[in-house]
Amino acid sequence: MLRIVHIGYAPVSLKSLNQHATGIKLCNGFIRNGHQVLALSDRDLARGFGFGHRRLGRGPFNRMIRDYCRAHKPELLVLGHADMVDAQTIAAIRGDLPGLRVVQWNVDPLFEPDNIRRIEGKLGVVDLTLVSTAGASMAALRRPGVRVGFMPNPVDLSIERGRMDEVEAPDFDIFYACGNPSRPPRHVCGQEWDMREFVAGLRARLPGLRWLTPGIDRPFLNGAAYQAALCQAGMGLNISRRGDDFLYSSDRLAHLTGNGQLAFIERATGYDRFFGEDEMGFFSSLEELADMLARYKAEPRARMRAAAAGRARYAELFNERRVAAYIVEAAFGGTRESDYPWPDHPA
């Protein structure tokens, strides 16, 4: 078993009450697989060193991280969106600890140039980079001597605790949460949308549906209030920034399926590679989406069966222990698609 230092975006400050953060789930997965985990939030620590200002605290934080690793001697250093950790600090830690393996993971889209820049900043000092987009988009990160692979958004059923697949008459029919509905616009079925207009259009087509849409027509939710909202609707709309980047999705997909909602997602994402039409609601047009929503509203038992099957399948494929095990195996050697049945394993 390993000693792992995991530095990432699982903040303790009130600025982001994200109970569903990928970093939290991966820490749970590492621990449940028997590893020792020392978890740190780079943003919060840098802010503390800088008396509330991350930029002022960046230098002292990086010096502290080097001393911390020198004292604890991890075998694996995992970085999740750890933008406060400088590349030269990682290089120095590697010099202090020969044999240390270093992995960075990133679940932001690869069509954002600023995200590519952040990932590229550490490519030369890590052993492995894992991203939540597969296929051709990964070409932006591929170069000689660099190992890049796909990492799915994990589900953790100790966090996604709802069982809406067992509720025949939920308070709401459809759930969609959107932090910023207009900037930048979402790309859905070949068209760019302000999501307020998108939801308004579907509501007009489907006047009988009861919508729960935090961030659209009511305040955005986080923390316990967000989890409670996920346990009030039978269906969930999974619309990310784009729906045509292979296997890219917001981690919202894990939130919806894990809580037993029947998730609706564009077919162009490629998730029909893993899930059948009886496990998720795949659509290629707004007409197809509207027709399915109406059908599953009218047939709650069919919705419950499909949601239960999708939840079970997602939890089998992408649970936190499996994704954590994949990170460790990929960091120290190789992985097989028979063990982890998703594409673009790091070479």
DSSP 309-321: HHHHHHHHHHBHH
Q: How far apart (Å, rounded) are the C-alpha atoms in residues 301 and 22?
A: 31
Residues of the chain with pLDDT under 50: none
Answer yes or no: pTM beyond 0.85. Answer: yes
223-278 pLDDT, tens digit per residue, is 999 999 999 999 999 998 888 899 999 999 999 999 999 999 999 999 999 999 99
**pLDDT per position as a tens digit, 128-146:** 999 999 999 999 999 999 9
> How far is residue 188's CA from residue 196's CA, in Å, rounded to a whole number?
13
Map tokens 């009218």 to a residue.
Answer: 298
Condensed to tens digits (0 to 9), the pLDDT of residues 145-158 reads 999 999 999 999 99
Two structure tokens written together for 336: 């097989």
- How many other CB atoms are found less than 10 A from the CB of residue 189? 19
Among the listed residues 196, 187, 186, 167, the one whose alpha carbon sits nearest the alpha carbon of residue 305: 167
